[in-house]
Structure 1
Amino acid sequence: MLEILDVTNTGRRRRFSLAEKIRIVEESLSGPKLARATARRYGIALSGLYQWRRQYQRGELGGDLRESRRAQARLRPEVDTADLDAHRKRRYIRT
């Protein structure tokens, strides 16, 4: 037996409190490539989450800018500059 689910749009946008926005943003920043999964989990548009993240990083959501930068720095992989310089040299040397 097939059951049909009728979803009606109430026309109202969901409202998130400042604390909820901060929690969602911090969750999305907690690991690499978590923005899409976090947006999907909370039913928000990815572009909206990116906007909240920018606001958070600028300190407009009440988040600590220094802490958010530390969290992002932890997510960035370490790059050995010697390897990077060698790669650049190989790229431009023609044999």
Structure 2
Amino acid sequence: MAFRDLIDEVDDTVFDVLGDRALIDGREVQGMFSAPWLQPKLGRIATALREPHLVIRVKDNAGVETRQRVEVDLPEEDGGGAYTITNIEPSGDGLVALVLRKAV
């Protein structure tokens, strides 16, 4: 088994078990949602990323474009709700970060 195949199987398991459900223009994907302003206040974490973001796999990124609507299926207190994609940032490791802005 090739290394990429092995990592793809690991990602399938991790995203299925730990991922957050989201709809991108009505298409369901599993991703890892983060809203930095909701993170626990333990110590100081220096990060340049302040916008909410949804990390998805490259294979789920086909057809994703800026200005598309994303619905994150989480309680509002955890940052769930409607967002607009403002930027798409591939990381080179099989994942893509979708930078989001709260939809009005």
What is the TM-score when the length of structure 2 is the normalising length? 0.22
Structure number with the bigger relative contact order (C-alpha 8 A, sep ≥ 6) is 2
Query: Computing the radius of gyration over CA atoms, which structure comes out larger, 1 or 2?
Result: 1
What is the TM-score when the length of structure 1 is the normalising length? 0.23
